[in-house]
Amino acid sequence: MNLHITNETSRLRAVVLGIAKSNGPIPTLEEAYDPKSKEHIQAGTYPAEEDMVNEIESVAAVLEKYEVQVFRPKIIENYNQIFTRDIAFVIDDKLVKSNILPDRDQEIEAIDHVIRQIAPEKIIRLPEEAHIEGGDVMPMGDYIFVGTYKGKDYKDFITARTNIQAVEALKEIFPNKTVKSFSLKKSNSIARDNALHLDCCFQPVGKNKAIIYKEGFLIEEELNWLIDFFGKEHIYEITRDEMYHMNSNIFSISEEVVISEKNFTRLNSWLRDQGMTVEEVPYAEISKQEGLLRCSTLPLIRD
């Protein structure tokens, strides 16, 4: 397989889509990885497996409609395998295996049938001390944007998934790219104050536009750089509630076609105003785990 990913919006040809079958029992509060899941566990509104299966299969149907080659993980009994974006990411022709939460190690093994199709020298494992998840990594042509948390209290946040060691490791692996890091706000307890990954508060769409939740960024200078990169007139700002519902976590099939949650009425109207085709799917149940469409997809090949 000839991997090729240089950005977030070129025409998609091959992707690994997560799977919700045999998702396991409702986690305990101690087992939850993020504050939004904790909220729904406490409220008794944690999503049912059947609903999540239906939601993710609606995405599979859209991808098949656009003739995208869709790979799925092998099912591990009673194990959450929805968020494939976390476990690995592709930049140019290389697949980088993420160093993620130890409890989730098995997830990468479930896509071994995909990884075996890639030349071994194109598969990269970062040093153990470099923590990273794919939701924090965005290839942008000559740039790689990386969400991170640089505070001395990094280890106190289960919601801090990508550290500065990983940023430095990416600079070494991709010397021809400019690796640009963005410090994100973290909270273990308040979902509306937590940017779990970069794609929870930012995402490029179309040819030169971006969705941004400004309050998700810790450092104003970094945020302003990002706004200047796209230009204010090309930026769609989302609210705290829209960030909570994961409005920035849609997924591009091309510069002209995006998959979005059907309840994102304001965003979907704006996308259509920009001339894009919006394929609406139900995804509100899966979003209760603080992840949405980008989180559920691991792109392998784009034009």
pLDDT at residue 156, rounded to an integer:
59
How would residue 192 be classed by pLDDT, with cut points 50, 70 and 90?
confident
pLDDT at residue 149, rounded to an integer:
73
Q: In sequence order, which residues have a C-beta less than 8 Å from that of residue 24 and are 6 or more positions away? A: 78, 79, 80
Residues 64-97 have pLDDT tens digits of: 999 999 999 999 999 889 999 989 999 999 999 9
Cβ proximity of 245 and 264 under 8 Å: yes
**Average pLDDT of the chain to the nearest whole number:** 92
Q: pTM to 2 decimals? A: 0.93
Residues 119-155 have pLDDT tens digits of: 999 999 999 889 899 999 999 999 999 999 776 766 6
Residues 31-73 have pLDDT tens digits of: 876 778 888 898 999 999 999 999 999 999 999 999 999 999 9
* Neighbour tally for 102: CB within 10 Å: 6
Kindly tell me if the per-residue pLDDT of 116 is higher than 80: yes
Residues 216-258 have pLDDT tens digits of: 999 999 999 999 999 999 999 999 999 999 999 999 999 999 9
Cβ proximity of 73 and 110 under 8 Å: yes
Give me the percent of the chain exceeding a pLDDT of 70: 94
Alpha carbons 247 and 149: distance in angstroms, whole number: 22
